Amino acid sequence: MAKRAPTADIDESKVRHSSTKKVAVGVPAVLHALQIANDQMGVKRSVESLLRVNQKDGFDCPGCAWPEEDKRHIAEFCENGAKAVAEEATLRRVGADFFAQHSMAELEAHDDWWLGQQGRLTQPMLLEAGDTHYRPITWAGALLEIARALRGLDDPDEAVFYTSGRTSNEAAFMYQLLVRGLGTNNLPDCSNMCHESSGSALTETIGIGKGTVSIEDVHEADLLIVAGQNPGTNHPRMLSALEKAKRNGATIIAVNPLPEAGLMRFENPQTVRGVAFGGTKLADEFLQIRLGGDQALFQAIGKHLLEIEERDGGVLDHAFIAEHTSGFDAYTQAMADVSWRELVAATGLPESVLRRVGETVRDSKSTIVCWAMGLTQHKHSVPTLRDVVNMLLLQGNIGRPGAGVCPVRGHSNVQGDRTVGIYEKPSAKFLDALDAEFAFAAPREHGYDTVEAIRAMRDGGVRFFMGMGGNFISATPDTEVVEAGMRSVDLTVQVSTKLNRSHVVTGKRAIILPTLGRTDRDKRGGKEQRVSVEDSMGAVHSSRGRLAPPSEDLLSEVAIVARLCALVFGASGPRPVPVGTGVHDRAEIEHSQVERAPGREGQRTDSAAVGHPLNVPQADWTALEDDYALIRTHIQNVIPGFEDYEQRIDKGRTFFLPNGPRDARTFATVDGKARFTVNPLEYPRIPKGRLLLQTLRSHDQYNTTIYGKDDRYRGISGGRRVVLVNAKDIQVLGFAEDEIVDLVSEWIGPDGAVQERRAEEFRIVAYSTPRGNAAAYYPETNVLVPLDSVADVSGTPTSKSVVVRLEHRA
Ligand SMILES: Nc1nc2c(c(=O)[nH]1)N[C@H]1C(S)=C(S)[C@@H](COP(=O)(O)OP(=O)(O)OC[C@H]3O[C@@H](n4cnc5c(=O)[nH]c(N)nc54)[C@H](O)[C@@H]3O)O[C@H]1N2
Ligand SMILES: Nc1nc2c(c(=O)[nH]1)N[C@H]1C(S)=C(S)[C@@H](COP(=O)(O)OP(=O)(O)OC[C@H]3O[C@@H](n4cnc5c(=O)[nH]c(N)nc54)[C@H](O)[C@@H]3O)O[C@H]1N2
Ligand SMILES: [Mo]
């Protein structure tokens, strides 16, 4: 088994490191994005698409989940948004001829960069067991294969249905209905690897697993703490909001082991100030914290506030604490007990600095904490985020203007997907409503999250896998275990826009279903359909693609799922037979409806349903496929907050979903209060001679989609297999700058024995990061993250704290 994905496509000998940039965006960002856009789409399509990004009645940017400003620029320009659009709207194509030319062995030898560069998938493909090449299959044929595989399962829990976060509300809602109709809650999603820790901590403490601020709150905040996030690369539009806050007088504190360019200074390409005068200084204070030191930081601030309150008074919001919170006394005691010595050791910051930050927080009239993966992907992420909430509660910083929690989501609709039911642990309330709407009984038993799904695969318990977008093979931890697990599955199905590693490392049989992306026109039932999405701040709006789709033979995600529902549940509406894309398809489906292979004893014969033969959702699947507004009506009937859904997304309007803490300071927790919690201090201890590695994104990638080989702001160009290490550590550990080393992760397994995993050939780059800490790019380093190394409570892989040693190469 290969130790790593091959790198033949990127010539790593060309990698260079120049100085780290101190400023983000500016004119180079615009030029770089336009170059990629022109390469992929040509000038005409670039203009057509880039002018429509995030405009009213345009399409929602597939880049990130940061909300749109209400008054939009002609083209709200964002380099990485433009790159995400170019990647999808590319004119390159991957059709049957491509698969005829390239064998599986050949495709497997390529990396995700090369695979992604080949272009958009244009027709359904099937890989038969033992075959060397994918071959074309009709839509009807492909869907039938899937229905048959599902019918052949002994237990619906042998099937796993993954979702990535670009799927629209409409498609996601249909998908979870399909899955629950089949009789399982096995709905792992990218969120399990992303903001699950935020959801866990926030649901427990404030009663909702989402942020509590709006974009206006960000503009109005007195103090913004941006921790564990690299917005210059991953949420570039957030920089405009920070700039605005700054001009309104806000103070910004950046908390990060790395001096990320976007946090330091921002050149707004939309303003003369940005382009001509060197931009705006963003962070007033940069705390170069040790990896995993954030719980200690927020405890230190809490401790300081409590000490000053005791001494001088006037710091805490006593009325808020008394009326809206519980657990204050226990938290106060815990903060009295924790020692400054430990807080200093964990953060790597002197007590004087911690106290100075405490003073800034004390002086702030309204504080927001923003965070992303730097806070969610550690073993103690959930307690860390509970301590963020504790600190905010002390001054009543939840549920008033300019204050609150702001987990900054990744994928553009990852929050919406959760809202409409993509969750392996659905609430009884949601399931009851679903049952009532579709006249069936959804399963109650919780399903697998991402890591549990991989364990089940590893142990031979998964026979069917479907991915609604995403790249399960490359995005998940412990690559070798995942690859072996996936290969044991009978049938794997990927609904995708572009080729990736999950199409080449597959089950015994594999199907690719190509689908429309955000930018593509989606015409069904004779009219152009729109979909809807929810941004990171709980605002819902519509999205409509305008570009000609890459092929006439593509189905939308909604259509794919609706047809599968019709096939496996049987059509219960007025049109009994799903309509295929051609006469041939229709005949094939009709044939299948009549002459089905016999099901299990007693199974209803007019349906391929598994598990619950007489218990399947009832709906007119064809009507839903032809008119997405009908799906929105179902969503509205099942999920609170979507009243008048259709009207409220008309004409490019946006509406907010209900948010108890933000709207009315109501907290749907066990005791109806915002909860102070006691969380014993945790932080990573780094064994002697080892480094703690964080795995993160370069500037030229979107998760596992690699746009290019540069990381401009960090001054790295021409390659990706680099490990950023403090210069002193390089020396003390006996290595040299530019040396090529192996990274070996060490993990104590369940049997107490040390397990090792290896990623080969990384170039050492001296970089500004705290002693003992290192950084390297994902997905190349996923091979190092042990499957069982997950965050407590949330189960998120600990991608930001992997103990490694560097090894000289012979
Ligand atoms: N262009 C582009 N945009 C994207 C994505 C992309 O890949 N490319 N991905 C999208 C997705 S799905 C997501 S989730 C987001 C991810 O957005 P980010 O969370 O910004 O992404 P990462 O690259 O993982 O960066 C983590 C940041 O946290 C810091 N960090 C790491 N560990 C710690 C720690 O222990 N403490 C603190 N304080 N800081 C730490 C790192 O130095 C880095 O700056 O971006 C979304 N947007
Ligand atoms: N080591 C390490 N691992 C990580 C992380 C980390 O920081 N470090 N981050 C984690 C995080 S935060 C996340 S969110 C996950 C990301 O995990 P995923 O969401 O699974 O991965 P992506 O790379 O975003 O998926 C890209 C693929 O999605 C498909 N796609 C794109 N747009 C569409 C669409 O509109 N519809 C459909 N059906 N398919 C589409 C394309 O085929 C593309 O190849 O990775 C996680 N893994
Ligand atoms: Mo994410």
Mean pLDDT of 130-142: 98
Q: State residue 259's pLDDT score.
A: 95
- Check if the beta carbon of residue 380 is closer than 8 Å to that of residue 682: yes
Q: State residue 528's pLDDT score.
A: 95
Judged against a pLDDT cut of 90, whether residue 802 lies above it is answered with yes
Instruction: Tell me the residue length of the chain.
Output: 810
Pocket lined around ligand 1, Cβ cut-off 6 Å: 63-64, 80, 194, 227-230, 233-235, 255-258, 260, 289, 291-292, 294, 372-374, 410-411, 694, 696-697, 701-703, 800
Judged against a pLDDT cut of 50, whether residue 583 lies above it is answered with no
- Check if the beta carbon of residue 770 is closer than 8 Å to that of residue 686: no
Residue 576: strand, helix, or coil: coil
Judged against a pLDDT cut of 90, whether residue 580 lies above it is answered with no
Judged against a pLDDT cut of 70, whether residue 651 lies above it is answered with yes
* Residue 193 backbone dihedrals phi, psi, to 5 degrees: -100, 5
Say which range, 8-12, 351-355, 599-603, 683-687, has the weakest mean pLDDT: 599-603
Give, as one character, the DSSP assignment of residue 94. E
- Check if the beta carbon of residue 781 is closer than 8 Å to that of residue 693: yes
Q: What is the mean pLDDT of the chain?
A: 90
Helix H or strand E encompassing 392: helix 381-394
Band (pLDDT 50/70/90 cuts) for residue 171 is very high
Region(s) of the chain under CATH 2.40.40.20: 691-808
Q: State residue 48's pLDDT score.
A: 74
Q: State residue 89's pLDDT score.
A: 87
- At 86, list the tokens: 């170019």
Q: State residue 78's pLDDT score.
A: 80
CA-based nearest residue to 55, from 80, 75, 37? 75
> Who has greater pLDDT, 91 or 808?
808
- Note the pLDDT tens digit of each residue in 408-458: 999 999 999 999 999 999 999 999 999 999 999 999 999 999 999 999 999
Judged against a pLDDT cut of 80, whether residue 605 lies above it is answered with no
Q: What pairing do the DSSP bridges indicate for beta strands 754-766 and 722-725? A: parallel
Query: How would you write 227-296 as a 3-class SS string?
Result: ECCCHHHHCHHHHHHHHHHHHCCCEEEEECCCCCHHHHEEECCCCHHHHHCCCEECCCEEECCCCCCHHH
* Nearest residue by C-alpha to atom 30 in ligand 1: 374
Band (pLDDT 50/70/90 cuts) for residue 40 is confident
* Residue 673, ligand 2, Cβ within 6 A: no
- The CATH number that domain 691-808 falls under is 2.40.40.20
- Note the pLDDT tens digit of each residue in 773-794: 999 999 999 999 999 999 999 9
Residue 323 CB partners (closer than 8 Å, separation 6+): none
Residue 267 CB partners (closer than 8 Å, separation 6+): 23, 24, 25, 26, 27, 274, 275, 278, 279, 280
Judged against a pLDDT cut of 90, whether residue 498 lies above it is answered with yes
Q: State residue 271's pLDDT score.
A: 64
Judged against a pLDDT cut of 90, whether residue 12 lies above it is answered with no
Mean pLDDT of 308-337: 98
Say which range, 75-89, 123-137, 214-228, 648-662, has the weakest mean pLDDT: 75-89
Taking the centre of ligand 3 as the mean of its atom positions, its distance from the CA of residue 680, in whole angstroms, is 27
Q: State residue 803's pLDDT score.
A: 97
- At 50, list the tokens: 């880039």
Distance CA 381, CA 392 (A): 17
Residue 386: strand, helix, or coil: helix
Residue 576 CB partners (closer than 8 Å, separation 6+): none
> Who has greater pLDDT, 73 or 328?
328
* Residue 481, ligand 2, Cβ within 6 A: no
Of the CA atoms within 13 Å of residue 9, those in its CB half-sphere come to: 20
Judged against a pLDDT cut of 70, whether residue 613 lies above it is answered with no
Judged against a pLDDT cut of 60, whether residue 604 lies above it is answered with no
Q: Which of 186-195, 279-288, 587-596 has the highest mean pLDDT?
A: 186-195
Which of 3.40.50.740, 3.40.50.1100, 1.10.3720.10, 3.40.640.10 would CATH assign to domain 93-192+413-652? 3.40.50.740
Taking the centre of ligand 3 as the mean of its atom positions, its distance from the CA of residue 190, in whole angstroms, is 6
Distance CA 471, CA 460 (A): 21
At residue 242, what is the residue type? L
> Does the domain spanning 196-408+670-675 belong to CATH 3.40.228.10?
yes
Band (pLDDT 50/70/90 cuts) for residue 668 is very high
Judged against a pLDDT cut of 90, whether residue 74 lies above it is answered with no
Taking the centre of ligand 1 as the mean of its atom positions, its distance from the CA of residue 317, in whole angstroms, is 33
Taking the centre of ligand 2 as the mean of its atom positions, its distance from the CA of residue 238, in whole angstroms, is 21
Mean pLDDT of 693-709: 96
Partners of residue 468 on adjacent β-strands? 163, 495
Distance CA 187, CA 418 (A): 10
- Check if the beta carbon of residue 627 is closer than 8 Å to that of residue 556: no
* Residue 593, ligand 2, Cβ within 6 A: no
Say which range, 226-240, 467-481, 581-595, 628-642, has the weakest mean pLDDT: 581-595
Say which range, 32-46, 111-125, 353-367, 490-504, has the weakest mean pLDDT: 32-46
Judged against a pLDDT cut of 90, whether residue 719 lies above it is answered with yes
Taking the centre of ligand 3 as the mean of its atom positions, its distance from the CA of residue 223, in whole angstroms, is 25
- Pocket mutation for ligand 1, best pick of 696, 710, 780, 796 (most atoms within 8 Å of C-beta): 696
Region(s) of the chain under CATH 3.40.228.10: 196-408+670-675
* Residue 543, ligand 2, Cβ within 6 A: no
Residue 376 CB partners (closer than 8 Å, separation 6+): 194, 195, 196, 197, 198, 228, 385, 407, 791, 794, 796
Judged against a pLDDT cut of 60, whether residue 771 lies above it is answered with yes
- Note the pLDDT tens digit of each residue in 529-566: 999 999 999 999 999 998 999 999 899 999 999 999 99
Q: Look-up: residue for tokens 């024995």?
A: 753
Mean pLDDT of 579-583: 33
Region(s) of the chain under CATH 3.40.50.740: 93-192+413-652
Q: State residue 360's pLDDT score.
A: 98
Crossing angle (nearest 10°) for helices 381-394 and 294-312 = 20
Q: State residue 161's pLDDT score.
A: 98
At residue 387, what is the residue type? D
- Check if the beta carbon of residue 205 is closer than 8 Å to that of residue 677: yes
Band (pLDDT 50/70/90 cuts) for residue 65 is confident
Q: Give the burial class of 130: count Cβ atoms within 10 A of its Cβ; 0-12 exposed, 13-18 middle, 19 or more buried.
A: exposed
Q: State residue 638's pLDDT score.
A: 98
Q: State residue 579's pLDDT score.
A: 33
Distance CA 200, CA 731 (A): 41
For the CA atoms of 430, 434, 440, 443, the dihedral, rounded to the nearest 10 degrees, stands at -30
CA-based nearest residue to 83, from 118, 111, 46, 112? 46
Q: Give the burial class of 480: count Cβ atoms within 10 A of its Cβ; 0-12 exposed, 13-18 middle, 19 or more buried.
A: middle
Q: State residue 270's pLDDT score.
A: 63
- At 3, list the tokens: 């130790």
* Nearest residue by C-alpha to atom 12 in ligand 2: 194
Q: State residue 263's pLDDT score.
A: 85
The residue ranges of DSSP E strands in 628-704, in sequence order, are 654-656, 674-675, 691-696, 701-702
Judged against a pLDDT cut of 50, whether residue 582 lies above it is answered with no
Distance CA 497, CA 514 (A): 6
Q: State residue 367's pLDDT score.
A: 98
Q: State residue 574's pLDDT score.
A: 36
Judged against a pLDDT cut of 60, whether residue 5 lies above it is answered with no
At residue 332, what is the residue type? T
Judged against a pLDDT cut of 80, whether residue 133 lies above it is answered with yes
Q: State residue 45's pLDDT score.
A: 78
- Note the pLDDT tens digit of each residue in 244-278: 999 999 999 999 999 998 887 777 766 655 555 56
Judged against a pLDDT cut of 60, whether residue 703 lies above it is answered with yes
Judged against a pLDDT cut of 90, whether residue 760 lies above it is answered with yes
